[in-house]
Structure 1
Amino acid sequence: MYTAQGKINQQEVLRQYLPMVRRQALGLKTRLPANIELDDLIQAGSIGLLDAMTRYDLSVGATFATFASQRIRGAMIDELRTRDWVPRSVRRNARAVEDAMHRVEQSLGRPAKEREVAAAMGLSLVEYQKVLDDTNGSQMLPFDDIDEEHSESSSSRLQTPFAELLNERNRANLTRAIDALPPRERLLLALCHHEKLNLREIGVVLEVSESRVCQLHAQAIARLHVSMRD
């Protein structure tokens, strides 16, 4: 990977690491709305790889592969950040779900069921689940992407439902809120954000469709927001 003069061989790095760019883009794409193009993520990741080549310092101790991986993913997240990729209507619907869920759970003293939240919103179950499908794209970025908000490569805050939950003051409360989730939703979050499984893989484990995984994920995040609000 290095020339005889001890410098990074850029052509060799590109040959070796461009497949990593594509793999990371594919992994991130599974957690994003359909309007986000894979090629755009790959292009942003490639820029991150070039940035890694110019910034890497062997003396810092981290391998180039580790450093490049962080830069690649950081560049993709920055690309999403600049696009404001979540429509206002989606954010508005997400807040409406949380408000309805809060009212139901305050009234019943237990986790709200889907039909109960749908009724509180004046929607049929099918309409409510469509809202969950639409809002889920704004929630699927994994925990490690949120953590990159505090890294050198990030210049501004990525607005996602987890962003306000993952600071030091809230971690204990968040842990309690996750423990209080219905078992299937708690398992889903673990599979998605810790095991890093994609939608299809999670669906196999839970024995549901990918669309149903999206709905349950959106509902779980809404529950966490309601719990943290309380």
Structure 2
Amino acid sequence: MYTAQGRMEHQSQLEAYLPMVRRQALALQVKLPAGVDLDDLIQAGIVGLLEALGRFDASQGAQFTTFASQRVRGAMLDELRSRDWLPRSVRRQARALDEATRELQQRLGRPPEEHEIAEALDMDLVSYRRLLSDVNNGQLMPFEELLAEGNEHRFSDQIGMAPLAELLDGERREALVAAIAELPEREKLLMALYYQEELNLKEIGAVLGVSESRVCQIHSQAVSRLRARLSEH
């Protein structure tokens, strides 16, 4: 039976870990499109915290703080995955972007330049960069999960990305590492700053000498190159 004392302890634990939920939400928000509401992330995180409080088993040897932190972050990512970010028209253009990138890579034997991809898509450079911004708003942060060892979550197939479990399997993981190594230097640096150094968009922009919106475009272009390379495997 759940006693009054038990409810009080549960409420006390919940309140004690709410600052952790907010910190995680803030850390996640800076990596996401501007339209993502902080309160939505916090609410999802609270659901994860409640689940952690209900499921934690101290006999398993794990620390509750670690267990709760994982549950909170997982709940926030699940909330983000549940959203349909991209209109169908942008999805179609995203697939065309990947295909053009793949074909040019094969034909040229090197990563294609922006203007070459734009020309293949019959776009001017301004329209091409606008497409990159639109596509990036739907990607959220797929490669953060993609590069995490042992992550059990799978992100949704928003724009043709294969399941995480498949990409982390043996040869495909090696293919991913190789594909990242083949990125143009600026895109490779961006990926390292974003996923390894965990800088936010403003900080990356300062390093690269570009605006935050341009960082999003470069990130989107890098992800498209990686998807194109991985499609060959």
The answer for the alignment partner of 2:168 in structure 1 is 167
Task: Give the 5 Å matches for 1:198-217.
Answer: 198-217=200-219
Alignment equivalent of 2:188, drawn from 186, 189, 197: 186
Extract unaligned runs of 5+ from structure 2.
Answer: none
- Partner amino acid for 2:193? L
Residue 8 of structure 1 deviates from its aligned partner by 9.1
Say whether the 8 Å CA contact 2:33–2:140 is kept in structure 1.
Answer: no
Q: Secondary structure of the residue that 1:137 maps to in structure 2?
A: helix
Matches of 1:226 and 1:142 in 2, distance apart? 15
Matches of 2:54 and 2:106 in 1, distance apart? 54
Extract unaligned runs of 5+ from structure 1.
Answer: none
Matches of 1:120 and 1:101 in 2, distance apart? 9
Residue 41 of structure 1 deviates from its aligned partner by 1.2
Greater shift, 55-64 or 179-188, is seen at 55-64
The answer for the alignment partner of 1:111 in structure 2 is 111
Change (3 A) 1:8 1:74: farther
TM-score by length of 1: 0.86
Residue 176 of structure 1 deviates from its aligned partner by 0.8
The answer for the alignment partner of 2:220 in structure 1 is 218
Matches of 2:167 and 2:197 in 1, distance apart? 18
The answer for the alignment partner of 1:120 in structure 2 is 120
Say whether the 8 Å CA contact 1:181–1:220 is kept in structure 2.
Answer: yes
Change (3 A) 1:115 1:206: same
Say whether the 8 Å CA contact 1:21–1:45 is kept in structure 2.
Answer: yes
Matches of 1:91 and 1:28 in 2, distance apart? 24
Structure 2 residue 148 is matched with structure 1 residue 132: no
TM-score by length of 2: 0.85
CA offsets 1:113-138 (integer angstroms, 9 cap, x no match): 00111111111101100000110123
Change (3 A) 1:166 1:190: farther
Q: Secondary structure of the residue that 2:156 maps to in structure 1?
A: coil
Residue 66 of structure 1 deviates from its aligned partner by 0.8
Residue 141 of structure 1 deviates from its aligned partner by 1.6
Residue 144 of structure 1 deviates from its aligned partner by 4.9
Identity of aligned residues (%): 52
Say whether the 8 Å CA contact 1:74–1:148 is kept in structure 2.
Answer: no
Say whether the 8 Å CA contact 2:85–2:137 is kept in structure 1.
Answer: no
Change (3 A) 1:90 1:38: farther
RMSD: 2.6
Matches of 2:163 and 2:194 in 1, distance apart? 16
Residue 7 of structure 1 deviates from its aligned partner by 9.9
Matches of 2:143 and 2:9 in 1, distance apart? 33
Greater shift, 7-16 or 72-81, is seen at 7-16
The answer for the alignment partner of 1:84 in structure 2 is 84
